Chains A and B, each alone.
Chain A
Amino acid sequence: MNALNFNKTVLISFPLVIIAIIIYTFITQPKKPTQIDISLLKGNIDNGKNVFLASGCNSCHTSDGSNNKYLLSGGQKFITNFGTFVAPNISTSREHGIGSWSFSDFYNSIKFGQSPSGKHYFPAYPYNSYQHMHDEDIYDLWTFWKTLPSDETPSQIHDLFFPFNFRRNIGIWKTFFMKDNYFDQKLDRSTYLVEALGHCAECHTPRNYIGSLKKSEWMRGGINPSGKGKIPSIHPSDLKWTKDEIVEYLSSGFTPDYDMVGGKMASVVENISQLSDLDRELIADYLLRLE
């Protein structure tokens, strides 16, 4: 390559590189934090507890083997194709948890998957489901959250592979896959319980190579985030349970064959068993109407 050709290449490439950097910066830019007007929100602790249970925060954020289901000290590991995620301490500790957060910080975390300092959270935190959470429920959850105990265990760092360890790149993922729409179009409380709070699809739906849910295989089973085996399909054509059997499972943990729920799902059932009978029935309705 002579000097003239080299100069030409540089001249042509330079603007393209600049354009690429601008596009990358634009796409990966975290959203401007939203300030929430809470003057009209009352903060109902009882509903906050229900939201907490339905959302299953403690299923991931308690430490392994912890008997206190409200001590959100973190530490559970999730082995994935992108590396190992470690659930952080989200207790009310000001130093190691989220005790120093404002409600707006909490809101932005749930709605947009963003930290108070404006960094993207990895979508192992199911904000793609939680983004549908109603503002009142988020405030009730926040009100309940503040009553929970503090834990001084420092959060551990995720052990992820390049380029997935670069938080800025999550902005690309969000641009293409974080859509503010439901799969189920009935948009009733069943949809809300399963898709927003329960975030059932996050485990029960398989993912593509960049970790987005395969909507064509909705609820048909996925990889176990704890690293071994498979999460079963809960699509009615595979599960073949009646409404009563689903409700029984969500109440007692017993399958129709009286096998007992285990692993992470045991915690989910433990939480859902504390919701109302009606909510359990609505969850069953949702699963049975999947096509």
Chain B
Amino acid sequence: MISLTLKISLIVIFFSSTLLLAHTGVKNEDVMKRMNLMKSMAENTKIIGDMLKKKIPFDLEQAKNSLIEISNLSKSTPSVFEKMAMDPKSESKIIIWEEFDNFRNLSNKLADNTLSAAENLSGFEDLKPALMRTASGCKECHTIYRE
């Protein structure tokens, strides 16, 4: 029993510390929210990428869900960024808030593109174009607005 409790404690400590280490040093809660949103986007994109590279089996429903999730996260991006919160660990450029309309447009464009990719996804051969559209949208925004 003691050993089971110890094991559970160690697992809890391990996962807590992993979460802490992921964003080490980020103190501002709003910045943390932004980072977590971006992390979720990356995790969903990774599912598509791993399927494409056959690291995980192709699953049409899972792929569609990931694209829809990226779309939803993109839609939420402007609201998470609306407040000009800063943190030494933040990689956001001030220009985001100087041209917030363009930032919003790019987020919405990615949301529309990934939703459309999800709707048109009917087989493995559609994965690469879907990933490319996602990559293009991410890059377009990161090029201008990320350090």
Instruction: List residues of chain A with CB under 8 Å of any chain B CB.
Output: 65, 224, 226, 228-229, 252-254, 257-263, 266-267, 269-270
Cα A263 to Cα B139 with chains together (Å): 9
* Complex contact B143–A266 (CB within 8 A): yes
* B21 nearest CB across to chain A (Å): 14
* Complex contact B42–A266 (CB within 8 A): no
Instruction: Determine whether B125 belongs to the interface, using a CB cutoff of 8 Å to chain A.
Output: no
Interface pairs (12), CB distance under 8 Å:
A65-B95, A224-B147, A228-B147, A229-B91, A252-B135, A253-B135, A254-B45, A260-B42, A260-B142, A261-B142, A262-B146, A270-B143
* Complex contact B135–A260 (CB within 8 A): yes
Q: Which residues of A contact B38 (CB under 8 A)?
A: 259
Cα A253 to Cα B93 with chains together (Å): 19
Additional 5 contacts, C-beta under 8 A, given A229-B147, A258-B42? A228-B147, A253-B135, A262-B145, A263-B147, A269-B139
* A64 nearest CB across to chain B (Å): 8
Instruction: List residues of chain B with CB under 8 Å of any chain A CB.
Output: 38, 42-43, 45-46, 49, 91, 93, 95, 131-132, 135, 138-139, 142-147
Which residue on A lies nearest to B140, using beta carbons? A266
* Complex contact A262–B91 (CB within 8 A): yes
* Complex contact A226–B147 (CB within 8 A): yes
Task: State which of B132, B139, B147 has its C-beta within 8 Å of the C-beta of A260.
Answer: B139
* B39 nearest CB across to chain A (Å): 8
Task: State which of A252, A263, A267, A269 has its C-beta within 8 Å of the C-beta of B146.
Answer: A263
Cα A245 to Cα B33 with chains together (Å): 28
* Complex contact A257–B46 (CB within 8 A): yes
Going nearest first, the 5 A-B pairs with the smallest beta carbon separation are A262-B146, A262-B142, A260-B138, A266-B143, A258-B46
Q: Which residues of B contact A269 (CB under 8 A)?
A: 139
Q: Which residues of A contact B144 (CB under 8 A)?
A: 65
Q: Which residues of A contact B45 (CB under 8 A)?
A: 254, 258
Cα A153 to Cα B121 with chains together (Å): 46
* B61 nearest CB across to chain A (Å): 20
Q: Which residues of B contact A259 (CB under 8 A)?
A: 38, 42
* A24 nearest CB across to chain B (Å): 40
Which residue of B38, B93, B135, B143 has the most chain A CB atoms within 10 A of its CB atom?
Answer: B143
Q: Which residues of B contact A266 (CB under 8 A)?
A: 139, 142-143, 146
Task: State which of B43, B91, B147 has its C-beta within 8 Å of the C-beta of A258.
Answer: B43
* Complex contact B135–A267 (CB within 8 A): no
Q: Which residues of B contact A253 (CB under 8 A)?
A: 135, 138-139, 142
Q: Which residues of B contact A261 (CB under 8 A)?
A: 139, 142
* A56 nearest CB across to chain B (Å): 14
* Complex contact B46–A262 (CB within 8 A): no
* B123 nearest CB across to chain A (Å): 21
